[in-house]
Amino acid sequence: MKFSRRRIEEPEINLIPFIDVLLVVLIFLMLSTTYSRFTELQINLPAADAEKMRERPFEVIVAVAADGRYSVNRKAVDGRSVDLLATELMAAASGHADAMVIISADAMTAHQAVINVLDAARRAGLVRLTFAAQTAGGTAR
C-alpha cells in the first residue's frame, strides 16, 4: 500500500479583510474629524507692540476709512478705483522712488479696500509698504 504524503500547505494570510477594516476606520476618522473654518475665526486686528521706527524716510500716508474711502497724505481721493489711487500715489511720491507707503486702515475696513491700496502702490512703483497699527494702550504707531 502506498500512502501519499500530505503536502503541508503554508498558511496564507488573507489581506482583504484587513484592508476592509482599515478603510472603515479611515472613513470613520474622516467623518468624525472637525476642521477649523477660517470664516469662524474671531480676530481683532490692528494692534501691535513693536518699537517705533527711528529713521523716517519720505512717507506717503494712505488712510482707508471703514466704508472704503481713501485719502493720500490727508487729501481725499475722489472715487475708489485702483487707477485713480495709483495716480494719486505717484503724485504724492513726487519722484521719491524710495518713498514709504504707510497704510492706515480702519479695523472695520473691507479687506478688498486694503488690497486695492497694495495694488495701486505696485502700479505706482512704490515697493516699500508698511501698515499703521496701535498698541493695546491706544497709541498709534
The enclosing domain of 109 has a CATH number of 3.30.420.270
pLDDT tens digits for the chain (141 residues)? 667 777 777 778 888 999 999 999 999 988 887 665 444 444 455 656 666 655 667 888 888 888 888 888 888 888 888 889 888 888 888 877 788 888 888 888 888 988 999 999 898 888 888 888 776 665 555
Q: Which cell numbers hold the place of 47? A: 494692534
Expressed as residue numbers, the domain containing 94 is 59-131
46 assigned to some structural domain: no
| C-alpha cell recorded at residue 97 | 522712488
Distance of alpha carbon 11 from alpha carbon 94, whole angstroms: 85
What b/e sequence results for 36-54 when a residue is b if at least 16 CB atoms lie within 10 Å of its CB, and e otherwise?
Answer: eeeeeeeeeebeeeeeeee
88 lies in a domain?
yes
CA angle (96, 102, 106) in 5-degree steps: 150
pTM over 0.75: no
Alpha carbons 69 and 53: distance in angstroms, whole number? 27
Q: Where are the beta strands (DSSP E) in the chain?
A: 59-64, 70-72, 75-76, 100-105, 128-131
Overall number of domains in the chain:
1
Within-domain flag for 18: no
- Residues ≥6 apart with Cβ < 8 Å to 64: 70, 103, 104, 105, 106, 109, 113, 114, 117
Type of residue found at 10: E
Whether 50 maps to a domain, the answer reads no
Q: Is residue 65 part of a domain?
A: yes
Residue 42 lies in a domain: no
